[in-house]
Structure 1
Amino acid sequence: MTDSKAGAAVEAAPARRGGKRERLVEAAVRVFHEQGVEKTTLADIARAADVPLGNVYYYFKTKDELVEAAVEAHRDRLTMLTGRLETLPDPAARLKALIAGWVEERETAARFGCPFGTLATELDKRDDGLDLAAAQVMRALIDWAEDQFTELGRPDARALAVELVAAYQGMSVLTNTLRDPGIMAAQGERLQSWIDGLGNP
């Protein structure tokens, strides 16, 4: 969800290598997505970040601390993404750019599912507070979408925002389960047409 490029209409942020902590967090986001939290070790993340394992403990004492940092990274990416989308001229264009960004990631979704949805689902099995932190990120996306539908003049903006995010999560699951990127492409087109038809309440 939060790794979307938001379509060609929005300029991508420049890539940054960062220091060791930033590299560890970026690697955690990627490896948790590809392997899941339970299967991932600190050694896996250190290797992906090209950081010696001993250095990991300087920044993160436990894997849970890295999970928390990964959730925060998703939140930050969402904030950056929606900030870029806000530069587009109208709410329909913003929503359609969001959908285009999701569709651009269809190959990744086919292999691993939604970057954030899969993490949120895994954390939901826990009761250590990380599930609540993940819910806040998902809620932030719904809140942003609600603002766009409100600006479109829709009195049912909240329901439409939930419908949009639910549609994305559903097509991500199907794309991943069936290993078929075409599902996300086709459903993305349907969502784009849906947005076009929502101009009048």
Structure 2
Amino acid sequence: MDSRRPRTKAADKRQRLTAAAARVLHEQGVERTTIADIARAADVPAGNVYYYFKTKDELVEAALSEHTRHLEVLTDRLDRLPDPRERLKGLVDAWVGQRDTAARYGCPTGTLAVELGKSAEGGLDLAVGHVVRRLLDWVERQFREMEVADPEGLSLTFVGAYQGMSLLSNALRDPEIMTREGARLVRGLDALT
């Protein structure tokens, strides 16, 4: 018998719980989500969750890690493009591609940032800030590579525009806000010299 098999099953179960935590917390929010909700979404018995995550806060941390992993996969893929302007346009395309989800639930990281920022317990509010900071830093690097004035300010404006269009799309339940405002961001990128 292969001694690695139990570890593979355990790693698979942990990953399913992590992915489910990211999805369910995004859809329901931290306050309304129970460990049982996450277990059900991951198809794991609720009692087994405690083997992998001792507290709900640990599940929130796992969800933030999942958001970070998604961001890294996306930016790694975009980094293969030779031009920073095209990388930023690719980022906008990815955002717009999630317009239906944004209209229904908002930005996964942004909604967690708002909710966790209000509780400010256990450092989770700071942890979500690290995910946002990774995105800001990546966007700023693209603007620096483009050699435009004030890359730090432009990155704040750019990511802020995304958060705004995501929030408005959610508040008005209108995914086309993402489409229209994404096109505006692309036009803005094309206008930069």
With the length of structure 2 as denominator, give the TM-score of the two structures.
0.92
**Residue number in structure 1 paired with 2:70:** 77
5+ long unaligned stretches in structure 1: 1-17
**Residue number in structure 1 paired with 2:6:** none
Q: Identify the match of residue 95 of structure 1 among 81, 88, 91.
A: 88
Higher helix share: 2
Deviation string 1:139-170 (CA, Å, 9 cap, x unpaired) is 11001100000010113100000000000000
Output aligned runs, 1:1-201, within 5 Å: 19-127=12-120, 128-198=122-192, 200=193
**CA offset at residue 75 of structure 1?**
1.4
Counterparts of 1:63 and 1:37, CA distance in 2:
9
5+ long unaligned stretches in structure 2: 1-10
**4+ aligned runs moved over 3 Å, structure 1:** none
Q: Which has the higher contact order (CA 8 A, sep 6+)?
A: 1
User: RMSD of aligned C-alpha atoms?
Assistant: 0.9
Deviation string 1:100-144 (CA, Å, 9 cap, x unpaired) is 010011011110001111011111012220101111110110011
Counterparts of 1:73 and 1:181, CA distance in 2:
24
Residue type matched to 2:155 in 1? A
The structure whose Rg is larger is 2
Counterparts of 1:72 and 1:131, CA distance in 2:
13
Counterpart secondary structure, 1:27 = helix
Counterpart secondary structure, 1:61 = coil
Counterpart secondary structure, 1:19 = helix
Report the identity percentage.
60
Counterparts of 1:195 and 1:155, CA distance in 2:
13
Deviation string 1:71-111 (CA, Å, 9 cap, x unpaired) is 11111221221111100110000000000010011011110
With the length of structure 1 as denominator, give the TM-score of the two structures.
0.89
